[in-house]
């Protein structure tokens, strides 16, 4: 337990530094974008006085680094500012709180699909290494991995929405309003994102199964005459679990911040679509708020993965982490 506490403390200590680096980089990139963002934001209401006031609010009248310090100091006070988009005009935090549950639900559903499909195919492929089943599965996984998510999404819409007319192509209903419609609307975007996860998980699972199958302890178990089912479940699968835990956490973190295209295509009102909208509308406070939330989520997910990894395998050491 003491070792786990040390691990958590070390990871949390790195959190502020990581957030500063990420948000500073994004802030400087936003400031370096060509064009006049103030004119874009004001539109028909553009005037010199309004432009100067908006520049003051955004910190654009000051050097980029000083503007970042002002923004980050407000974050420490719990103030992410206000959205500048005409469609919102509300506090950034309130807007994020509306969108976060949607993205979390979509990411979890996508991860579940990816794990079910990926682990299943990886086990079958790994246990049948070198034969026709392995070749077919590996080829399909490689093909699926090469297909961009937007192409995969369009193919799924074409099949399930246009040809078969089984599922709606876009939209969203909260799970608290209608659970059945919620799942119907989120199935296609979850499948589009989840299939990408499945290819990665399946390849890692296959490699882990092959590695575990050739290990000494499996050879000893087979030599003792243990049933094949027991060898697979008690020795091979159990010892192939650690890489799967790691890749699962990494994929969940990637999903929380990488659903921009998926949410935009299927019109799912989550953090991803909010990132897309804020880029189009040059809504800097919202974009920076999204980056902050995504960064924190990714770091916390990786912290949980590190803890699970240590619990699953007591032999693993993390610096001062004891066995």
Look at residues 133, 277, 253 and name the one whose alpha carbon lies nearest to residue 200: 253
Q: What is the pLDDT of residue 305?
A: 78
pLDDT per position as a tens digit, 120-148: 999 999 888 889 999 999 999 999 988 88
Residue 268: closest CA among 121, 110, 127 = 110
Which residue bears the tokens 């924190």? 296
Confidence (pTM): 0.82
What's the pLDDT band for 201 if we cut at 50, 70, 90?
A: very high
pLDDT band of 308, cuts 50, 70, 90: confident
For range 99-120, the mean pLDDT: 93
Nearest to 201 by CA among 247, 252, 250, 233: 247
How does pLDDT run across 63-76, given as a tens digit for each residue?
878 888 888 888 88
Mean pLDDT of 223-251: 78
pLDDT greater than 50 at residue 320: no
132-146 vs 179-213: helix crossing angle, rounded to 10: 130
22 or 235, which is more confident? 22
How large is the angle between the packed helices 92-127 and 241-258, nearest 10 degrees? 150
pLDDT score at 322: 44
Contact, 105 vs 186, CB < 8 A?
A: yes
pLDDT at residue number 268: 92
Q: Which residues of 54-88 are buried (b: 16+ CB within 10 A; e: fewer)?
A: beeebbbeeeeeebbeebbeeeeeeebbbbbbeeb
User: Has residue 263 got a pLDDT over 50?
Assistant: yes
Sketch the domain layout of the chain as residue ranges. Answer: 99-282
Mean model confidence pLDDT for the chain: 82
Q: How far apart are CA 153 and CA 176, in angstroms?
A: 26
Q: Which CATH superfamily is domain 99-282 in?
A: MetI-like (1.10.3720.10)
pLDDT at 191 over 50: yes
Does 260 score more than 80 pLDDT? yes
In this model, does residue 5 exceed pLDDT 50? yes
pLDDT of 152 reads 92
Helix axes 179-213, 241-258, angle to 10 degrees: 140
Q: What is the pLDDT of residue 81?
A: 82
How many CA atoms within 13 Å lie on the side-chain side of 156? 26
């Amino acid at each position: 337990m003491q070792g786990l506490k040390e691990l958590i403390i070390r990871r949390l200590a790195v959190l502020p530094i990581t957030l500063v680096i990420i948000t500073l980089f994004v802030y400087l990139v936003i400031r370096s974008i060509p064009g006049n963002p103030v004119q874009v934001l004001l539109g028909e209401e553009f005037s010199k006085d309004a432009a100067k006031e908006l520049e003051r609010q955004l910190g654009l009248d000051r050097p980029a680094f000083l503007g970042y310090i002002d923004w980050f100091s407000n974050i420490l006070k719990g103030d992410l500012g206000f959205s500048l988009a005409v469609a919102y005009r509300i506090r950034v935090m309130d807007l994020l709180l509306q969108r976060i549950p949607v993205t979390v639900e979509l990411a979890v559903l996508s991860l579940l699909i990816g794990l079910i499909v990926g682990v299943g195919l990886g086990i079958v492929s790994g246990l049948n290494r070198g034969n026709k089943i392995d070749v077919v599965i590996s080829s399909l996984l490689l093909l699926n991995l090469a297909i961009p998510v937007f192409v995969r999404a369009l193919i799924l819409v074409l099949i399930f929405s246009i040809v078969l007319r089984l599922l709606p192509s876009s939209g969203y209903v909260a799970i608290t309003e209608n659970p059945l419609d919620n799942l119907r609307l989120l199935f296609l975007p979850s499948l589009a994102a989840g299939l990408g996860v499945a290819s990665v998980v399946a390849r890692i699972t296959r490699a882990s199964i092959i590695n575990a199958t050739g290990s000494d302890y499996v050879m000893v178990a087979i030599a003792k005459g243990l049933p094949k089912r027991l060898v697979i479940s008690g020795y091979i699968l159990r010892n192939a679990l650690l890489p799967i835990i790691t890749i699962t956490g990494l994929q969940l973190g990637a999903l929380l911040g990488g659903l921009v295209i998926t949410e935009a295509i299927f019109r799912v009102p989550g953090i991803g679509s909010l990132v897309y909208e804020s880029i189009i509308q040059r809504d800097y406070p919202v974009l920076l708020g999204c980056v902050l939330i995504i960064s924190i989520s990714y770091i916390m997910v990786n912290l949980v993965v590190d803890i699970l990894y240590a619990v699953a395998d007591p032999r693993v050491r993390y610096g001062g982490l004891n066995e």
